[in-house]
Homo-oligomer: A and B are copies of this chain.
Amino acid sequence: MASEREQILEEIGRHKKEISSFLDGFLDEWEEEGTQGRWRKDVRKRLQEMVKEGKMVRGTLVVIINKFYNGDHHDSAVKAGAAVELLHTGILMHDDIIDKDLRRRGMKTFQKQYRDLADKEGIEERKHFGISMALAGGDVSFFLGQNVLSSLQVPQDPKSNIQELVFREFSNVGLAEQVDIYSGYSSDEPSEDEILDLYRTKTARYTFSLPMKAGAIMADVDKNERKKLYNIGEKIGTIFQLKDDELGLFGDEEKIGEDIGSDLDEDKKTLHRLKLLERLSDDKEEKVREMLGTDMTDEEREQIKHLIREKNVKSDVHERMEALAEEASEMIEKLDLEEDSKDFLQKMTIFCLEREK
């Protein structure tokens, strides 16, 4: 597995370099052309650091899928990938405000960076200052991403199609954020279907379906094939999110670089949580509900994790992930692609299923 993993990371890394280099040039130009010197420079630097710290799975997938078909408009695929990464970074900046997160990609989040700036400059209301600056900074990132997307040098049809795809999916991400926020605060219990629906919108479509389809549009692949890619993306992306939940419970804190168990503390409405509560006796369920959503001790967390294993929740969810991988695998085989390319997508699916961070 190690070498397959490396192969995938190598392929991603190669295109990440291309996207980074485009972004450097684009941001350079943006910085030079305008006024508001200090803050233009400042937000540019912060954005650039944050974008480049990511793996750029979304952006590179546009380029990789485009290449797998025929590689037409390669430079535009790189640009579209860069746009997707800028839009994604805007989402992250806003998401961190919503979740009150202070760390991301092993760095301080934007709201924390600006909060620290407030400390340094003796600005009062440091928290609101941090939120406000990160909010406006996220907007800047959105509009820069859209700017890149509007400058694609491809025929009008694919260009409109890509833009409509991107903006439609991202409006759904915004909406999914709302659903997620409400669900986090509300005492309503989402059903299994609702949880999986949210996973598809919040993660799967925008992380996998969108870039895969965008790469195919750029390569002028027919609609039927694009639809297949979109569906495969939904499967892989759902695995990706379920794995995220699993790692959030049982992962290696060192590798992941985030607190393990915070989903429990926040009482995130994950599939693991739903299945656990379903399988507990009434009084046990009540006890667990009382613990969830509080600042738990390590011992309490261990208790809940023990129950998740004991009630076969972990294994059942993992089985579901494997079933999804199986479905994705069958769909990948039916793609109109060279064996090597199919092989890459198969490996990527397994990678999402088996990753440790």
Contacts and interface: CB of A to CB of B under 8 A. Distances in A.
Contacts of A281: none
A201 B133 CA distance: 17
Nearest to A159: B156
A94 B174 CA distance: 13
Given A143-B167, A146-B146, A146-B163, A172 B135 contact: no
B175 A140 contact: yes
A135 B94 contact: yes
Given A139-B177, A146-B167, A172 B98 contact: no
A107 interface: no
Contacts of A160: 150-151
B178 A43 contact: yes
A36 B97 CA distance: 22
Dominant secondary structure of chain A at its interface with chain B = helix
Nearest to A177: B136
Interface residues of A, number: 62
A174 B143 contact: yes
Contact of A197 (B35, B118, B173): B35
B136 A94 contact: yes
A196 to B, nearest CB: 11
Interface stretch (A63-71, A119-127, A309-317, A336-344): A119-127
Interface in A125-169: 125, 128-129, 131-133, 135-137, 139-140, 142-144, 146-147, 150-151, 155-156, 159-160, 163-164, 167-168
A100 B129 CA distance: 12
Interface string A257-292: 000000000000000000000000000000000000
